[in-house]
């Protein structure tokens, strides 16, 4: 005897919430009703929160930069694999820098076109949704030096402009309006002043807004290109004028925090890393267990590779006194490496030219994997979500 049992929407939602993103998306074509239910903010929010609570996010990491194809690294298998990627930014000359994620959404920048058009898009790899931002209004004249016109981001991140850092990018969420924003901070390489120039893109408004802010500190230079998003603000490491020169030693550094909602900045003090501290290219900021973290690279060689790292954590956001060294990571004797990222309690380093190494920060367990090339600059957590870049 056939059963006439039907499932209510409430039951179907509970069933669908247990499925991965790609399986849920297959239900799009069942009916308009299912499509509407799956793409509702209620369902998307619940699916995202449930994934966080049950720690269901993928164990893979996105390898950057991306050249020709986008790769994932899976720690469990130790294997690299290709990820479907159909960005309209990709062409034969593309070399994409990817950062994020924020609720499964990533920001993608084509660094080979950085001073020609600064091609940027926002991308959800699970749904394959992409939003390409309009061309930024930046021109060569904004940098105050004709020599910049022929540079790529490779050059910028190399020896020429790292001494005069005049460009930074941030991707974040306006937690008041729940809209994504991208900010480009720039400055003239031929002037020293207290003004911070920027273009801000609000996805809901779909246009770039020019913004100038006067910094209530000594003249500045940003030393990290990609901003780290935490607590509604993007963060970069800045080097400030000390006397009449930019110091390469502590205490000439602070963290610049730019609030994505009110669109204003403030400085966060460095921890007391000591008078013997000297700047390394590998010093960076990250997030760890919901806290701001400073990766203090030590024992660096002439190429910026380091033999050890101190992981400072700011337990109470914005409170200088709450900085403390939570972890120390030391590489094998005679080995120097580059910090790649912190994901799910593991600290990733590229040791030499052959090894990708992960350190469990709590157990100090070490895992080593062979790498196929030496182009890895960072590892990002790969998150799958149904979050829409442009909500209806």
On whether the CB atoms of residues 87 and 106 are closer than 8 A, the answer is no
pLDDT at position 147 is 44
CA-wise closest residue to 356 among 346, 344, 369: 369
CA-wise closest residue to 346 among 356, 357, 358: 358
Which parts of the chain have pLDDT scores under 70? 1-7, 52-59, 65-69, 85-95, 111-118, 139-166, 187-194, 215-220, 241-251, 274-282, 299-304, 372-374, 391-392
And the tokens for 291? 């806290």
Distance CA 344, CA 60 (A): 11
HSE (CB half, 13 Å, CA atoms) of 247?
15
pLDDT at position 203 is 92
Q: Where in the chain is the domain with CATH 2.120.10?
A: 57-279+374-381
HSE (CB half, 13 Å, CA atoms) of 19?
16
Distance CA 206, CA 212 (A): 19
Kindly report the number of other CB atoms within 10 A of residue 98's CB atom.
22
Q: Which residue has the tokens 């394959």?
A: 128
Query: Could you report the per-residue pLDDT of 257-281, keeping only the tens digit for each?
Result: 999 999 998 889 888 886 555 556 6
pLDDT at position 113 is 52
Instruction: Give 302's contacts (C-beta < 8 A, 6+ positions apart).
Output: none
On whether the CB atoms of residues 196 and 183 are closer than 8 A, the answer is no
pLDDT at position 39 is 82
On whether the CB atoms of residues 61 and 341 are closer than 8 A, the answer is yes
On whether the CB atoms of residues 358 and 348 are closer than 8 A, the answer is yes
Query: Which spans in the chain are helix H?
Result: 9-16, 21-25, 32-38, 41-53, 153-156, 159-162
Distance CA 226, CA 342 (A): 15
Q: For residue 21, how far is the Cα from the chain centroid?
A: 22
**Positive or negative: CA dihedral 259, 262, 263, 266:** negative
> What is the CATH number that goes with domain 57-279+374-381?
2.120.10
DSSP character at residue 278: B
On whether the CB atoms of residues 225 and 235 are closer than 8 A, the answer is no
Query: Could you report the per-residue pLDDT of 243-252, keeping only the tens digit for each?
Result: 545 555 556 7
On whether the CB atoms of residues 386 and 21 are closer than 8 A, the answer is yes
And the tokens for 321? 């006194």
And the tokens for 241? 């004028």
Instruction: Give 91's contacts (C-beta < 8 A, 6+ positions apart).
Output: none
pLDDT at position 159 is 36
């Amino acid at each position: 005897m056939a059963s006439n049992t039907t499932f209510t929407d409430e039951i179907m939602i509970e069933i669908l919430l247990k499925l991965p993103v790609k399986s849920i998306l297959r239900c799009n074509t069942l009916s308009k009703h299912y499509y509407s239910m799956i793409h509702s903010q209620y369902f998307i929010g619940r699916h995202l929160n449930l994934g966080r609570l049950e720690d269901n996010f993928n164990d893979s990491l996105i390898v950057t930069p991306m050249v020709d194809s986008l790769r994932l690294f899976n720690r469990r298998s130790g294997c690299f694999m290709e990820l479907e990627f159909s960005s309209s930014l990709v062409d034969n000359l593309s070399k994409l820098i990817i950062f994020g994620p924020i609720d499964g959404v990533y920001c993608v920048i084509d660094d080979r076109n950085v001073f020609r058009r600064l091609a940027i898009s926002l991308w959800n790899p699970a749904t394959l949704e992409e939003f390409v931002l309009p061309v930024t209004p930046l021109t060569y004249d904004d940098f105050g030096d004709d020599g910049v016109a022929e540079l790529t981001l490779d050059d910028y991140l190399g020896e020429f402009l790292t001494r005069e850092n005049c460009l930074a990018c941030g991707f974040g969420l306006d937690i008041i309006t729940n809209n994504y924003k991208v900010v480009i901070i720039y400055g003239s390489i031929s002037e020293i002043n207290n003004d911070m120039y920027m273009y801000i893109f609000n996805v809901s408004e779909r246009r770039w807004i020019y913004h100038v802010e006067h910094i209530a500190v000594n003249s500045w230079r940003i030393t990290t290109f990609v901003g780290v998003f935490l607590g509604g603000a993007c963060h970069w490491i800045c080097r400030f004028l000390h006397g009449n020169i930019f110091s390469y030693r502590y205490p000439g550094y602070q963290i610049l925090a730019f609030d994505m909602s009110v669109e204003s900045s403030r400085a966060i003090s460095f921890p007391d890393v000591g008078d013997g501290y000297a700047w390394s290219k590998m010093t960076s900021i990250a997030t760890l267990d919901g806290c701001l973290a400073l990766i203090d690279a030590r024992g660096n060689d002439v190429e910026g590779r380091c033999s050890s790292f101190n992981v400072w954590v700011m337990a109470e956001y914005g409170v200088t006194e709450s900085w403390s060294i939570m972890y120390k990571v030391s590489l094998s004797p005679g080995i120097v490496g580059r910090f790649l990222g912190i994901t799910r309690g593991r600290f990733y380093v590229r040791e030499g030219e052959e090894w990708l190494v992960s350190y469990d920060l709590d157990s100090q367990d070490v895992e080593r994997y062979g790498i196929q090339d030496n182009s890895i600059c960072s590892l990002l957590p790969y998150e799958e979500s149904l979050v829409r870049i442009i909500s209806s």
